[in-house]
Amino acid sequence: MKQVPDQAVSEVIGTILMVAMVVMIAGITAAVVLGMPFVPQKPTLAGFMVEIIQGTNSTNPGAPTVPVISFYEVSGDNLAFFGANGTNIRLTDPEGVTRSVNSSVTGSEIRVGERFLVFRQSGSPGNYLVTNNQSSISGIEPFTPHGTWRFIITDEKETNMVIFEKDLTL
């Protein structure tokens, strides 16, 4: 009887193939685990009540009253303070120009029931301010141009999304 030659792979080649397989499996596992996005943040949920109230023009006491946007959170999560990594307000005028609203708000969170006021401040034509302290308001001027403005609240800390928006006639 004729002997069949040993057709097995040598031990050196077998070891190299085993190491290569382990490295490939480790690479695939790492790609799957590290390539997965982190668990998404819980979306910010908040409901707001927005209305237009009449404010006194403090730069010209005899002048007629001017509109001021008044809003407060009626339900939902406490929101981070106004600023670069928190809740922001933008106004889009009737001509489509979007303006950021500056803040003079004190505190670290926007809580349910806390009232805020947004108005156009005298001086710079594009300077809009939000405050929660009525005694700090000075230099209120009318919103210009007149027409339908879009009031937008965004959360830029957690989800970078629009929380609330409403059209207002000013």
Residues 6+ positions from 51 with CB-CB distance below 8 Å: 69, 70, 71
Gyration radius (Cα) of the chain, Å: 30
pTM above 0.75, yes or no: no
**What is the C-alpha end-to-end distance of the chain, expressed in Å?**
105
pLDDT tens digit sequence for 62-71: 666 788 888 8
User: Which pLDDT does position 24 carry in this prediction?
Assistant: 95
Could you tell me which residues come within 8 angstroms of residue 22 by beta carbon, excluding any fewer than 6 positions away? Answer: none
Q: Is 103 left (phi over 0), alpha (psi -120 to 50) or beta?
A: beta
Query: What does the alpha-carbon distance between residue 164 and residue 152 come to, in Å, rounded to a whole number?
Result: 6
120, 95 Cβ separation under 8 angstroms: no
Between 106 and 29, where is the model more confident? Answer: 29
Which residue bears the tokens 């029931």? 113
Name the percent of the chain lying above pLDDT 90: 14
* Predicted confidence band of residue 128 (pLDDT cuts 50, 70, 90): confident
Mean predicted confidence (pLDDT) in 24-52 = 78
The answer to whether residue 108 scores a pLDDT higher than 60 is yes
Q: What span, in angstroms and rounded, lies between the C-alpha atoms of 141 and 24?
A: 67
Domains in the chain and their CATH numbers? 46-169 (2.60.40)
Give the pLDDT score at 80.
Answer: 75
Over residues 78-93, mean pLDDT: 77
pLDDT at 22: 96
Secondary structure of residue 164 in the 3-state scheme: strand
